[in-house]
Amino acid sequence: MVETAIFAGGCFWCMVKPFDRYQGVIKVESGYTGGHTPNPTYEEVCSKKTGHVEAVRITFDNEQITYSTLLDVFWRQIDPTDAGGQFEDRGSNYISAIFYTSEIQKEIAIKSKKTLSDMNLFKNLIVTKILPASVFYPAEEYHQDFYKKNPIRFEENEAFSSRSSFISEHWKKK
């Protein structure tokens, strides 16, 4: 059965590739959600006046990959203890959040967050929000599959970010 998962983890360019490689993931789309402005543009979201966050919407076949597995991938891409954004991307439009699309997803997300917290991997509390999904607005076409369309710029962005070192430090042996 086809389902949708929506995750915010800072820059959406960095959140597509980790999910794109899994069997059962049908599509990963960059976009905006959680705010009050209809059909926002990238520039409007960056202004921090729309209430939206950069996010990815993942369409997946739950017979091939579970929502729990997607949550595991999500947690390993972010700093769940940072309420001010993610890595070099700062501000309310870059926070981490899980947007559930059903009560079952909500329960699984809450359990997943508790399991992560119980692992004691981080010095600070986990602050990633678990929120009901609202309208998801796809980002402009040039943002879609950015890592494929602009591999050099994507690699430069990835190298500049402290995301990969954080992930390596916290998940290397897990």
Residue whose token pair is 């939206």: 52
**DSSP 3-state helix, strand, coil percentages of the chain (rounded to 5)?**
40, 25, 35
Q: Are 42 and 140 in contact (CB under 8 A)?
A: yes
CA dist., res. 36 & res. 26, Å (int): 28
CB atoms within 10 A of CB 125: 9
In whole angstroms, what is the distance from residue 106 CA to residue 140 CA?
A: 29
Range list of β-strands (E), 77-144: 85-86, 89-90, 96-100, 129-132, 136-138
Q: Catalytic site residues?
A: 11
